[in-house]
Amino acid sequence: MRHVAFILIVLVLLAGCAGGAKKGEKIDLTAPFVGGTVGIVADFVDLRPQVFDGGRDPFDVIVKLENKGETNVAPNRARVKLSGINPAEFGKLEEDLSKSPDDEVIAMRKDPQGAILPSTPVFVEFTGLNHFSPISGAQAAFPLRADICYTYSTDAVSKLCVRSNILAPEPEGICEINEDKPIFNSGAPVQVGAVKETAGAKDKIRFSFDIGNEGTGQIFERGSTCDRSARSKENRVFVTVDSGMPGLQCTGLTTSGTKAEGFTTLFEGKKIVTCTQTVTSRTDFEQLIDIEVAYDYEEFKQTQITVKSSGESPETS
């Protein structure tokens, strides 16, 4: 997971500043992410609201992409598609109105000192649109919509309580098993929350968490390019849970080493994942768990463009 190493480095530095973590001490889990529920934000730039017909008034549509979350998006993992206008009427083919950016859409970042490093906008340009055929009447208004599909992921970190006696722990212990746990998410439209831990058996603890769509867009299976023709791809995410300990089992996911992973479907924008962790240690400690959720995400930006009859000159419009 991209952020796991960074999180561990930050935690080690924090522990080092405090004189080093000792066996049986609590983990001081501070916010390692910028956070937020936004991914890529799109907007039209310098769009002319009025153009003329007759093929003598070419214009460009420029869409700005700004990454307000914390996942870098490669050029081939993002796509902007224009709709609302007939490509043929504006001198274009359908494929001309679907493009990927030339550059990576870099994410925001928080450095170890807590400073937020902003992202740099990327621009997708659709040039030389031109309404050749004459319109009926003085003018006609058309919706202009940019659908943005991009591959994104959410990284989340929480911690579990492990006790030498799980079912009847000493009251004055380092941590509590049966309680809600803190959770920190990277900035992304899909968020992980409501982490709850309970005792399961003398050698097992259980924990659950929610996955929810907190953004304004639609979730699709990663790599699907937000294809709405395949309903089975909608609201699908790929989840990876890493407890750092063997013996992890999560409902609907496949176990491999210290990880459990697989696809799951959100219903009404939410999914609860339940896991069981076998514990062989007889030491009290807190254990970091890392959760990654990967998906394609689609949002849109819409405006309007008016085509005016070339019987009116630009000077008198």
Per DSSP, helices labelled H in the chain are: 4-17
Residues 292 and 187 reside in one and the same domain: yes
pLDDT at 316: 42
Instruction: Report residue 230 as tokens.
Output: 């395949």
CA dist 249 → 54, 75, 240, 241, 273 (Å)? 65, 36, 12, 10, 11
CA distance 123 to 257: 42
Residues 163 and 277 reside in one and the same domain: yes
State the residue range of the domain holding 286.
4-34+152-297
pLDDT at 17: 36
Task: Band the pLDDT of 15: cuts 50, 70, 90.
Answer: very low
Query: What's the pTM value of the predicted model, to 2 decimals?
Result: 0.86
Domain count, the chain: 2
Q: For residues 29 and 283, which has the higher predicted lDDT (pLDDT)?
A: 283
Residues 72 and 211 reside in one and the same domain: no
Mean pLDDT of 89-105: 96
> Tokens 């069981």 identify what position?
276
Mean pLDDT of 185-203: 95
Which element (helix H / strand E) includes 175? none
CA distance 222 to 263: 10
Convert the pLDDT of each residue in 120-160 to its tens digit. Answer: 999 999 999 999 988 888 899 999 999 999 999 999 999 99
> Tokens 């304004």 identify what position?
216
29 has a pLDDT exceeding 80? no
31 has a pLDDT exceeding 90? no
**108: CATH:** 2.60.40.10
Q: For residues 229 and 52, which has the higher predicted lDDT (pLDDT)?
A: 52
Pairing mode, strands 285-308 and 50-52: parallel
Question: For residues 124-160, b (16+ Cβ closer than 10 Å) or e, as one string?
Answer: bebeebbbeeebeeeeeeeebebbbbbbbbbbbbbbb
Q: What is the mean pLDDT of the chain?
A: 88
Residues 188 and 254 reside in one and the same domain: yes
CA distance 213 to 220: 11
Residues 209 and 289 reside in one and the same domain: yes
Residues 8 and 47 reside in one and the same domain: no
Contacts of 136 (CB under 8 A, 6+ apart): none
% the chain with pLDDT above 70:
89
Q: For residues 264 and 23, which has the higher predicted lDDT (pLDDT)?
A: 264
Q: For residues 252 and 25, which has the higher predicted lDDT (pLDDT)?
A: 252
pLDDT at 12: 37
